[in-house]
Structure 1
């Protein structure tokens, strides 16, 4: 299949451009990404809705991908516990080649059609769960194999790809196709395609966590208090909700461990 992500850049002779020209041209391409995502909102809505439904019933969300796509899935999964206070294994990011591939590329790992399912089995994946394949090209064998096998086991599957009519999308029950077109640097899908995938992942996990009740108002009331900045943020959230002084709010937060628990216990007095 012809992939738009692999088409030649609209820009020629990049090495002859000034630094300002390079930056402006990259920025001009980046501006097109949110508009491409907007066109895919109905697909994102469908995937987010089924994911929330499965997770409300005790399921988990798995991301599978290779290279940049795999790394983006790992990042989104790793940010869910500190942001929303969920268990570390509720959202899981798996990358072709294993965790070592997060930092250093593993040759030909993405070409293995059976490894994704093996990686998923290590987590006892089952039909309560959702498996989302992430692949800019939509042609990654690791992802295709994982989705096809998940389908055979009656597991809900989705994907995030940046080409239309791809094999990955064909293998997914809930495909999200964000067509971002040629990259500024020909074939460098860590650029526009990666940005599009990050935006969709933000939308997917955040909308699902809101539906799971992990947000109150517009606040991260279940966030992990893992550094001074977050403790300070949490203290002010407790102050805002209760009218307590900073000292008393900090004490309540320390005692109960989360903004939600601190506020709930205060109003139960």
Structure 2
């Protein structure tokens, strides 16, 4: 049997004297490969992160582009909506004046007055129409619809409301209107027949509501309501902000002409948006 020394001697003869060098070179190569692999992985990771950032920036730019396009479309749509509403309002003003057989004149931007021959010298117009972007306010002097301190509709008042109903029901106009509000207003002279001007104006607004309904304006189709402000919202107050001093109400009713202007029924037409 060979001794341990003999076996070791044989091993050295088998691997040869250059074995350590080979092993060292192999180790160096493995280390270089490992370093290269690590560098490649870092490069791949960096490239991946760069591509991810580029994709995110591209997506953000695309989102901003779409947002600008949508905003432009909304602006154009809004302009179209406003134009259509204004066209419908102008058409209603012309049709109403034609139905009444009266002339219509512009008294302020987007504000029109209809005055009948028999009342042309009495100051305030019989009917005033104000157009806004989504609202049209038709203001009837109470003398057209009611006798003083009364809630029964006059014959000429019935005619006025019948013609208004006919205009609203023609040419699909009512389809453009989302809501109708009827507001009753009075002056500061106390009513002799009713508990207050608030009650008087409320009953007048209800009379107008029922009359429009009888002439074909269906509240089930177009929302319609009646309300009262009594003596508390004079015509000048509509353009006032808050607060409105109590003494100003007295000033707004300190002459027959001012009180005549404040006694009115206002019909507000709220136009529906296209979108």
TM range (shorter): under 0.3
Higher strand share: 2
Larger Rg: 2
Structure with more relative contact order (C-alpha pairs < 8 Å, separation 6 or more): 1
TM-score when normalising by structure 1: 0.25
TM-score when normalising by structure 2: 0.25
